[in-house]
Amino acid sequence: AQSVSQHNHHVILSEAASLELGCNYSYGGTVNLFWYVQYPGQHLQLLLKYFSGDPLVKGIKGFEAEFIKSKFSFNLRKPSVQWSDTAEYFCAVTTSSGNTGKLIFGQGTTLQVKP
Amino acid sequence: GAGVSQSPSNKVTEKGKDVELRCDPISGHTALYWYRQSLGQGLEFLIYFQGNSAPDKSGLPSDRFSAERTGGSVSTLTIQRTQQEDSAVYLCASSPARPGGEQYFGPGTRLTVT
């Protein structure tokens, strides 16, 4: 079965530190890849997405992610985090299987940024 | 423009009662999805609508769960004879026509079964 794995469950950083959150998926076919963020008390919002083309994608608020097909990975990065980045981050994929577009989510990573 | 809306935002019900959760997608979005977010299970897909049809119901956890969509717009998720394990946040998302594209999420309905 298709699955998504996020390696870090809880990350604590100080402001200005660099961030990298790991995400791996298991599916051998075509995928679309997403990172969603859920700020405290708010609903899920899209950070960035990859459909095709340049494997380095840039999203909102200075986030970027790199798709490495050979590693089945889509890691999220930010050079310098801010306190306002405190949130839960979800990696998700849709696959070409069944053509429904349903999102398969990772378990999420809680990021806590200390001021 | 208006985003995805869901109602109620919170629902507390007694075990064994039926509940209905409503989703209003973004106007013009033909695809609609229901997900469930619970501790320990993360975010799980429940059902997918394209228009008023549900070609993928594979995520519904039991026959106590059902959903419908009318007029290609509003969707209702119904849980019959609720159980404590149904307690979760139920999320709705909508998307423009192409499957696999970006989905826009609503704020969710927090269901608590006592």
Domain boundaries, chain B: 5-98
Q: Is A34 on the interface with B (CB under 8 A)?
A: yes
Task: Assign B1 a pLDDT band (cuts: 50, 70, 90).
Answer: low
Q: What is the pLDDT of residues B50-81, one digit of tens each?
A: 999 998 999 999 999 999 999 989 999 999 99
B18 contacts: CB under 8 Å, gap ≥ 6: B78, B79, B80, B81, B82
Which phi and psi angles does A54 have, rounded to 5°?
-55, 120
Q: Which residues form the domain of A98? A: 3-114
Domain spanning B5-98 has what CATH number? 2.60.40.10
Q: Looking at the 3D structure of chain A, how many domains does it have?
A: 1
Amino acid residing at B64: R
CB within 8 Å: A102 and B59? yes
Yes or no: say if A48 and A35 are a contact pair by the CB < 8 Å rule: yes
Pairing of strands A64-68, B65-69: unpaired
* C-beta atoms of A102 and B101 within 8 A: no
- Tens of pLDDT, residue by residue over A31-89, are 999 999 999 999 999 999 999 999 999 999 999 999 999 999 999 999 999 999 999 99
CB pairs under 8 A between A and B: 62
Domain containing residue A98: CATH number = 2.60.40.10
By CA distance, what is A107's nearest residue in B? B42
Angle at B97 between CA B95 and CA B99, to 5 degrees: 75
Q: How confident is residue A11, by pLDDT bands cut at 50, 70 and 90?
A: very high
CA atoms within 13 Å, Cβ hemisphere of A50: 25
- Give buried/exposed letters for A32-68 (b at 16+ CB in 10 A, else e): bbbbbbbeeeebbebbbbbbeeeeebebeeebbbbbe
pLDDT computed for residue A4 by the predictor: 96
Residues of B in contact with A99 (CB under 8 A): 99-100
Q: Could you say which DSSP state residue B100 is in?
A: T
